[in-house]
């Protein structure tokens, strides 16, 4: 991997009060292109720490552009406003006339000026005709900033829609909304395995799960049950039981909001689970 310029500063801080009023447009793309962009983001030292939702939003917003062989894509010293992911072809990166590297499909570039609010650190030239996915600074920064705020209000809205949580005070709901993490599962994934230890609690926000419990000895067989949006499971682990008492398996794609035991302080929330 080519060594990047030494940049010690953190990416420029984004101020949520300066939220630009940008409508994010989504561009259709093949599964292969979605994966190419996603992998390019996950390979990048800064982007790989983004939330899944942010990565998917960037993938969604990128649109295709083509540039002819020999053209300059980025000029060193310019103000930069686009981040690129190469879909097809090859580019060369130079700095002060010296070649730094070449890059092929699946590589991201142009992110430094956008992330660090600085001028372009290098020149990027198309060595062949190229196809590129691009996203502009405004969309990129909107995704970076909005997610946290929007996620909070979406979580609040969702929690308020679950009858059991409706009577909880706003401040309790707000703390729970802050602590929720989103987790996605594919068909057949074991979200919880009976007998395993665990200290997380799940609320289903999308999809369905199947709960199965293996009987022991002469116990009656337990029929599998199905849970869906607004239902929860894993609450035993929050009440002090470490060992999972049943398995919970995804039926199709499932998104859960996950709370861990650290939130135990929110007694009001957990007592509402009874």
Instruction: Give the footprint of ligand CMP on this chain (CB under 6 A).
Output: 2, 4-5, 74, 80, 93, 100-101, 109-113, 120-122, 124
Q: How far is the CB of 68 from ligand CMP (least distance, A)?
A: 19
Torsion of CA 186, 87, 91, 119, to 10 degrees: -70
* CA 212/CA 194 separation, integer angstroms: 8
Nearer to ligand CMP, 126 or 227 (CB): 126
Name every residue whose Cβ is closer than 8 Å to that of residue 27 and which is 6 or more positions away in sequence. Answer: 60, 61, 62, 63, 64
Q: In b/e form, how buried is each residue of 142-176, taking b as 16+ CB within 10 angstroms?
A: bbbbbbeeebeebbbebbeebeebeebeeebbeeb
CB of 205 to ligand CMP, least distance (A): 35
Q: Which of 206, 205, 191 is nearest to 237 (CA)?
A: 191
Nearer CB in complex with ligand CMP: 93/237: 93
For residue 157, the cross-strand partners are: none
**DSSP 8-state assignment for residue 266:** -
Q: Position of tokens 């953190």?
A: 10
Question: Least CB distance from residue 233 to ligand CMP, whole Å?
Answer: 44
Minimum distance from residue 133 beta carbon to ligand CMP (Å): 14
Q: How far is the CB of 128 from ligand CMP (least distance, A)?
A: 17
Q: Which is nearer to ligand CMP, 74 or 144 (CB)?
A: 74
* Site of tokens 């090859």: 90
Minimal distance, residue 37 CB to ligand CMP, in Å: 15
Phi and psi dihedrals of 42, rounded to 5? -70, -20
Q: Of 134 and 247, which has the nearer Cβ to ligand CMP?
A: 134
Based on CB atoms, which residue is closest to ligand CMP, 136 or 236? 136
Cβ distance to ligand CMP smaller for residue 38 or 94: 94
Structure tokens at 237: 């682990």
């Amino acid at each position: 991997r080519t060594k990047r310029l030494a940049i010690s500063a953190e990416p420029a801080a984004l101020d949520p009060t300066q939220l630009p009023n940008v409508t994010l447009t989504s561009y259709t793309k093949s599964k292969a292109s979605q994966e190419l962009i996603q992998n390019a983001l996950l390979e990048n030292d800064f982007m790989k720490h983004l939330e899944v939702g942010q990565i998917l939003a960037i993938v969604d917003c990128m649109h295709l552009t083509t540039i002819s062989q020999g053209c300059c894509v980025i000029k060193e010293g310019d103000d930069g406003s686009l981040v690129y992911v190469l879909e097809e072809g090859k580019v060369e990166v130079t700095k002060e006339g010296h070649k730094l590297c070449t890059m092929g499909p699946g590589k991201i570039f142009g992110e430094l000026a956008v992330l660090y609010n600085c001028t372009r650190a290098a020149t990027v030239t198309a060595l062949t005709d190229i196809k590129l996915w691009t996203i502009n600074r405004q969309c990129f920064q909107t995704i970076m900033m909005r997610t946290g705020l929007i996620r909070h209000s979406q979580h609040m809205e969702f929690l308020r829609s679950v009858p059991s949580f409706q009577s909880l005070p706003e401040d309790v709901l707000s703390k729970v909304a802050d602590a929720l993490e989103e987790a996605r599962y594919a068909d057949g994934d074991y979200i919880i395995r009976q007998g395993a230890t665990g200290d997380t609690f799940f609320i289903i926000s999308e999809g369905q799960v199947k709960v199965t419990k293996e009987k022991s000895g002469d116990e009656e067989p337990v029929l599998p049950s199905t849970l869906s949006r607004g239902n929860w499971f894993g609450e035993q682990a929050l009440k002090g039981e470490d060992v999972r008492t049943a398995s919970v398996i995804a039926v199709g794609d499932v998104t859960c909001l996950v709370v861990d035991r650290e939130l135990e302080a929110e007694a009001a929330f957990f007592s509402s689970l009874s």
